[in-house]
Structure formats: structure tokens, C-alpha cells
A and B are shown apart, each in its own frame.
Chain A
Amino acid sequence: MTIDIEHRPPRLRVRTSIDRYSAIARVNHWITAITFVLLALSGLALFHPSLYFLTGLFGGGATTRILHPWLGVILLISFAGMFLQFWRLNLWNRDDTQWISQIGDVVKGDEEKLPELDKYNAGQKGVFWGQALMILVLFCTGLVIWDQYFGGYVSIETNRLAALIHAAMAFFAIMLIIVHIYAGIWVRGTVASMTRGKVTGGWAWRHHRKWLRREAGTKHTHVD
């Protein structure tokens, strides 16, 4: 038996982590996420006849019609909670404009070519502001077409316009959520931020280095 002395023994790997989301933020996020999915399913059921079968998930057409707007109320409140927690870190800056101009590198995953970023990149900010705007519009137009309680308050023509805008906004919101979910899957290590609240130091270094530099050494960073 020989001992390999030609190679240096591997350096002791140091594992680091950094807190990204508090327990409150995580619970808030998942309430919003589940509500959004239920809204999308019940909304799509009434959007196109080929998806009407989805009403079965909610106990039939009439209960789908009853539940959908109430889910919308929950979403508005839940998202408002997230908005208050995250809006400040989602303000646009020069790095974001640079990031967007290099969207090709983003899609290819060539992050070394991108500017160092704080807690959120322009894509995440886009999802944040896009959803904020669309949820607000969806809620307002939703109230107009919530016939059980608000039927007859505005003209039928306004109702028609509200229904059209509601459908169009829902389409864009679902599109944006597809991007959001895919980004979470594609960028490995991201989901942990919303399940355990932490990401690895390497994740932060790779994707949000400015944020890591700001937090490095504080109580939010851990050497495991």
C-alpha cells in the first residue's frame, strides 16, 4: 500500500452561508405563491372553455366563481406585505440598466461579464414591479366584474373593458410568474433562500456580490 505524497492534500473546505429571507418574509412569500397558483388555475378555468375542467379542483363552476375573487383579496393583502418589505431594495439603479443591456450574457449564464449586483438584479426587480402593478390592476378590474357584490355600480361598457383588461393582465402576470419560477430553478441554490432563508456564500458571490460585500462579516453571514 502506497501513500500518494505527490498531490497536495485538498484544502479544508470552508462552508459559508448568508441570511436572505426572514421567516416572516418566507411565510409571506409562500402564501402569496399558493394564492397566485390557485388564482391562475381558477381564472384560467373561466378564461378558456378547454380549461373549464379545472373548476373541478374547486368544487364546480359556481364555487370557482365564488372563490376566485376572495383569493384575489388574499393575494392583494399578502402581496402588499411583501411589497412593504421589499420595495426599497427594488429601486432601479445604474447597475440594473447595465445588466439589462447585457441580457444576452444573463441568458447564457456568463455572470462574470455582468456588473456586481446588490440584493436584486434587474430581472428580479422587473418581476417585483411588474407583479405589483398587475396585481393592483387585476384587483381593481376584478372588483368591477365581481358581479355578486359590485354588479351594477358601473356601466356595462365599463364592465366589458374591465373584463378585457383583467384577462390581459392575468396573461402577463402568469407569463412573468413562469419566468420567475424558471429563474428559481435554473439558478441553482436559489430555492433555499425561500425554504430555509439562507443561501450559500458562493451563491451570493456569484449572483449578488455587492450584497455579499455589504453583508460579509455581519451577523447575517455564517461560517459553518
Chain B
Amino acid sequence: MANQSLNLQRRSASTDTPAQAGGAAIEVAKLIDVSKCIGCKACQSACLEWNNLREEVGVNTGVYDNPHDLTPNSWTLMRFAEWDNPDNGNLEWLIRKDGCMHCADPGCLKACPAPGAIVQYTNGIVDFIHENCIGCGYCIKGCPFNIPRVSKVDHKAYKCSLCSDRVAVGQGPACAKACPTTAIMFGTKEAMKTQAEKRIADLKSRGFSNAGLYDPEGVGGTHVMYVLHHNDKPHIYAGLPDKPKISALVSAWKGTGKVFALGALALAAVGAFVHHTIVGPNKVSEHDEENAAELIEEGKRGPSAHETRPV
């Protein structure tokens, strides 16, 4: 590929190493500063607009979340949580922009059976290539964050692309562009970490002693990071996993066990061939046929003819 930011690092269900023309890539990251978010949903609107998606008009169930969950059309979603802070009695309104975290070790890519349906670019973005997607939903099982959604219309899986098309031409993601408080920032991963440090120092000076950066180790770090005022308990932010990692069940299902399974099947077939070569066919002898004939003929003559005789 001519565009350096779209060089592949990894490709689902493929063992070959993708071409690395263009030299080392710079990892990018989106930084979502939850403490600066006002819940306006401009990011959701911008996402729909840039990606030319339409969400159905839903119903209000008494919460601010709209739609109620991520969908094949809504790749990002503001999740609203109310948290009673036991330390100071404050009722805190925690608003988290949910969406793909672009893991360095993506569970979706690990689980995907279709070659090239999920790719990871050298800049860290994990992208779904829809013409290769077969709609099996394995990516949903692989994801530690419950992000991908399979469309009931075209049976392809969808999620945030981190606006890989915009990033490829030097733009930031649409959501970051639309955010009125710059709670969503975009840049190199290093720059975003530096930015986060400043924000965390500020939050700590204002009493949020557990403020920190959410860049979970369990999935090798992510290319979407959060600044959380309560980084000691991510789960209070509408169920953000405390220690996300690819499920052991997925690792067992998609791990090296498969190679052994295929090897064992091949070995069984070879074993059968070897057995036949050594033992030879198990053939019925003429003697067997004679004995059977005697038995059957005797049976046909009737029970009176019964007698015991050596076999």
C-alpha cells in the first residue's frame, strides 16, 4: 500500500508477514478525558455523519443513553452512570464515550476465521475490512470490551474504525474534531500519554487522588485511552473492565490447540493406513462361508435338524 499509515501489522486468519514498506510507523492514539466530557453527544453525531450512518429513532427508557447500546450504525456511544462517592457523599455523573479501544493485542482479530477481515495497521488502528467479513460473529466472542456488532441487514460486523480513512490523510477522527471541550484528543500515542500526565496532575491537585490513565496492560495497551478521575475502579464508568484481557476460553479455542487437533486428525488417517499395511485386510475365509452355509441351511431345514457339532 502506498499510504504509510495504512501499512498492515497484522491480518486475521493469516500467517504471512505483511509488507512493511515505508519504515517504522508512528503509533497513534485517541485520548478521551472523561473529566472534561459534558455528555453533549456531538461525537456520536459526528461519527454518524462522517461514516454516513443513520440510526433508527428509538424510545426513551428514562436514561440519557441514546441509543441504548452500540449498534452496527452507532460505533460510539455516550454511556451515563451515576455514582455515589462514599468518600465525600457526592453524586457523580460519570459520562464515558464507549467504542472500540483499538487494542495492541486485539481479541477480535485473534478470533476471526476469515483471512483479512480484521487488520491492524502499523499505526495501531484495528479495522474491519467488510468485503472479507463472513458475518460469523467470532469477533464479538473475542472482544474483551463487547464492542463489535453484526448487522442484521448485510450480516457484516461493524465498529469504530478510528476514522482510519481520515487518519490516512493526516486528519484526526471525526469525533475528536467535533468535541466542543476537547475531551477527545488525537495524536501520537506518546503525545497523548504526555497530555494525559498533565491532566492527571491537575485532577490530583483538585482532590481526585486516584486519577489516572486507562491504557490496560492485559491487552497490550490500547490506542484509545481514557483519563479517569477514579482509575482505581474503572467499572464504575458504566462497566469499563477493570483488567481487560482476551478470555482464556478464546485463547484455548483459538490457540495452538488447533494445530495439534489438525495434526491428530492427520495422524489418525495415517495410522489407519499404517495399520492396514501391517495387519492387512480382515478378510472372510472360505471356511467362514462354509460354516455359515451349514448353519443357514440347517436353519432352513427346520428345528428338527438341530444338533451340536464342533465349530
Contact = CB atoms under 8 A, between A and B. Distances in A.
Interface of B: 13-15, 113-115, 132, 134-138, 140-141, 146, 150, 155, 247, 249-250, 252-253, 258-259, 261-262, 264-265, 268-269, 272, 275-276, 279-286, 288-293, 295-302
A18 B252 CA distance: 49
A72 interface: no
B300 to A, nearest CB: 5
30 contacts: A16-B297, A18-B296, A45-B113, A46-B136, A47-B113, A48-B258, A61-B114, A61-B132, A61-B134, A111-B282, A145-B137, A147-B150, A160-B141, A160-B250, A163-B253, A167-B253, A171-B264, A175-B264, A186-B276, A186-B282, A188-B283, A188-B284, A189-B283, A201-B292, A202-B288, A205-B288, A205-B292, A206-B284, A206-B285, A217-B298
Identify whether the interface residues of A are mostly helix, strand, loop, or mixed: helix
Closest 6 CB pairs between A and B? A217-B299, A201-B292, A147-B137, A202-B289, A61-B134, A216-B299
A200 interface: yes
A218 interface: yes
B296 A221 contact: yes
Contacts of A88: none
Identify whether the interface residues of B are mostly helix, strand, loop, or mixed: helix
A219 B269 CA distance: 39
Interface string A87-118: 00000000000000000000111010000000
A157 interface: yes
Contact of A49 (B115, B275, B282, B301): B115
Contacts of B252: 164
A216 B298 contact: yes
Contacts of A201: 289, 292-293, 295-296
Contacts of B296: 16, 18, 201, 212, 216-217, 221-223
A46 B141 CA distance: 15
Contact of A159 (B140, B268, B291): B140
Interface residues of A, number: 62
Given A16-B293, A48-B258, A186 B264 contact: no
A166 to B, nearest CB: 9
B299 A218 contact: yes
A175 B260 CA distance: 13
Interface in A166-224: 167, 171, 174-175, 178-179, 182, 185-189, 200-206, 212-213, 216-218, 221-223
Contact of B265 (A49, A174, A187): A174
Contact of B134 (A62, A189, A221): A62
Nearest to B305: A217
Given A107-B275, A163-B253, A206-B285, 17 more contacts: A47-B262, A50-B15, A52-B13, A61-B113, A62-B135, A109-B282, A151-B140, A159-B140, A178-B272, A179-B268, A179-B272, A186-B275, A187-B282, A189-B284, A202-B289, A203-B284, A222-B296
A65 B137 CA distance: 10
Contacts of A202: 284-286, 288-292
Contacts of B115: 49, 52
Contacts of A161: 249
Contact of A178 (B155, B269, B282, B289): B269
A163 B279 CA distance: 39
A175 B264 CA distance: 8
A116 to B, nearest CB: 10
A13 interface: yes
Interface string A7-19: 0000001111010
